[in-house]
Amino acid sequence: MKRRLVLLTEIIAPYRIPVFNALAKCEDIDLHVIFLAENDPSLRHWRVYKDEILFPHQVLPSWRKRIGTHNILLNSGLSAALEYSEPDAILCGGYNYLASWQALFWASRRRTPFIAWVESNAQDHRSGNSAVEFLKRKFLGRCGAVVVPGKSSFEYVRSYSVPEGKIFTAPNAVDTELFARQAAEVRKDAGARRRLLGLPPRFFLYVGRVVLEKGVFELLRAYGTLSEELKAEIGLVFVGEGPARAELMRRAPDGVQFKGFAQRDELAGYYGLADAFVFPTHSDPWGLVVNEAMACGLPIVASSAAGCVADLVKDGWNGRVVPRRGVEELAVAMTALAHDADLRATMGQRSRERIAAYSPKACAVGIAQAVASQGVPDNA
């Protein structure tokens, strides 16, 4: 018998739609998704691909306010939505919002299994506040199971005294087939695409928010230390928006381009033409742009602070892992890749091979296993 699973999550993120579509296809899951908001225009300008949604869903009325680094999101109608959905289990994306706690208390009163989906890791700079850590421990302690995307999050959740048997891995995923297909199309007519996008013949690529904590200034400094001959041969392209962009542009030497925000279907034009992808973040729960770049066949240079690195990037195999804020190490890794076409090709192929296991279907299977662990519903 199918179990009615209500999945509570923040916004209609384009990378989650394929995962939720795959989850809705699971033979033992009857999925209903509740979004706390349609989008978050104060942070990202993602297009909402509503035509790709193949699962029942609703968007709650919401009010949002950003105060510094804090994101306040309030909703109405959650209890009514849960009552109407009659869930056999609830999967909640994180513990950051009031709605997460409301759903937890609702489930506790009705003895409905409650599962948390947690992406945090020990290197996330947002952790450490004693009050926040206390609340996390309380939240996780009341969950019947916890879903994590990979090794770093698994260890993080286990550090909160959650038994290993209650932790389920649902590999973080993007639509790998879509990105691989789009990148292959781009490469078929590479010259024309370069001219259309105004890209240099060769370049390192960064995709993401242009903010201090993503390590963008270290990346710029590392590029600046490359030899003049190498910088004349290979450029650096930033794709994304953020408050650090203006200062980054002011400091940028020749050979550095800033392309602004790109929607999902525009990204393959950059991934498909780049020599390598660089992700120098100071702190990141995962880093799905690394999934995208690997699906497009790129070698990866990433900081050890990225949550995805423990699962996706093997130093010297499909890329290089460098310490956060490691300007010198970034420059060394970029130089080695720039000078060795065979190495880039080998690492890029290995990226394709590794990311194949991080599919939307694999993520859906991990979630379904967590739901199944909560026993048989009373109405079965």
325, with CB counted inside 10 A (0-12, 13-18, 19+), is middle
User: Which domains, from first to last, does the chain contain?
Assistant: 3-173+359-372 (3.40.50.2000), 176-355 (3.40.50.2000)
Q: What is the DSSP letter of 148?
A: E
| Residues ≥6 apart with Cβ < 8 Å to 272 | 182, 183, 184, 185, 186, 187, 190, 193, 296
Number of helices and strands in the chain (H, E) = 16, 15
pLDDT tens for each residue of 36-63: 999 987 777 889 999 999 999 999 999 9
| Calpha distance 319→278 (Å, rounded) | 10
Q: How many other CB atoms are found less than 10 A from the CB of residue 202?
A: 14
Which of helix, strand or coil describes residue 206?
strand
Residue 41: what pLDDT?
79
C-alpha gyration radius of the chain: 21
What is the rounded CA–CA span in Å between residue 206 and residue 229?
21
> So what's the pLDDT on residue 375?
79
- Note the pLDDT of residue 128: 61
Q: What is the largest CA-CA distance in the chain?
A: 71
Query: Beta partners for 115?
Result: 91, 145
Residues of the chain with pLDDT under 50: 379-380
- C-alpha closest to that of 13 among 53, 42, 68: 53
Kind plus residue range of the DSSP H or E element containing 32: strand 29-35
What's the rounded Cα separation, in Å, for the pair 324 and 305?
A: 6
- Collapsed DSSP state (helix, strand, coil) of residue 116: strand
Could you read off the pLDDT of 63-86 as tens digits, one per residue? 998 776 678 899 999 999 999 999
Two tokens at 198?
């105004």
151 conformational bin, left if phi > 0, alpha if psi -120 to 50, beta if neither = alpha
C-alpha span between 112 and 89 (Å, rounded): 6
Angle, helices 288-295 vs 264-271, to 10°: value is: 60
**pLDDT single digits (tens) 322-354:** 999 999 999 999 999 999 999 999 999 999 999
Strands (E), 310-357: 319-322
- From 375, 371, 379, 377, select the one nearest 27 (Cα to Cα): 371
pLDDT score at 289: 98
